Amino acid sequence: LFTTITVDEPAPGLKAIFGFRVPDQRSGKIELQYLHEYAGISSSIGLTANPIVNFSGVLGTNVLALGTDISFDTKTGNFTKCNAGFSFTNADLIASLALNEKGDSVNASYYHIVNPSTNTAVGAEVTHSFSTNVNTITVGTQHALDPSTTIKARVNNAGKASALIQHEWRPKSLFTISGEVDTKSIDKSPKVGLALALKP
């Protein structure tokens, strides 16, 4: 049995959440969330003898934002998660830079709407791992064939290419056909997927 107790607005912009599972006595957790026009903060702590403390927050506007996500294990005295990111957004462009995995990898991404009337967009993502000195580069695009049908495709420097076609056959209900092929291993069978999402 999973139980959640929420106290809305004990102070302006604040929400307190207490959750636990029965009969697991070590599953209890208290979370505080604060939402402001220019800030969002969430922190939680487990109700155990050596809890894990989580903190995430973002500061900014609808154009620029800076955020972080941190977890600290009080038993070992180590950070189990430490990520930080920065983003820039305007009407037709989103760009972001993030430092992940306790500083071991950096990720830069770019998304640009080329034609709003057909929802045509291009995007790219570059990830560098410092520990393995490996770069991953992915480029992709999307285009609306009509108001209810969209196609998307992407390829990365490892030779993995994927594409999908998605059709909204009624409001909020989607049918998707997707496929992926490894262009560097043609002898491997391609992957094909079907998905149906129904929303009331």
Average pLDDT over residues 27-38: 91
Residue 145 tokens, joined: 């064939």
Q: What is the pLDDT of residues 54-66, one digit of tens each?
A: 999 999 999 999 9
Average pLDDT over residues 191-200: 92
Average pLDDT over residues 38-49: 92
72 versus 200: the higher-pLDDT residue is 72
175 found inside a domain: no
Q: What's the total number of domains in the chain? A: 1
Q: Quick check: pTM over 0.85? A: no
109 found inside a domain: no
Residue 103 tokens, joined: 């500083």
**Selection from 63, 141, 139, 56 nearest residue 96 by Cα:** 63
Identify the domain containing residue 12 by its residue range. 1-85
Sign, Cα dihedral of 169, 112, 99, 154 = positive
| Residues 179, 199 contacting (CB under 8 angstroms) | no
Alpha-carbon separation of residue 45 from 7, 26, 66 (angstroms): 16, 12, 23
Q: What is the pLDDT of residues 119-177, one digit of tens each?
A: 999 999 999 999 999 999 999 999 999 999 999 999 999 999 999 999 999 988 999 99
14 found inside a domain: yes
1 found inside a domain: yes
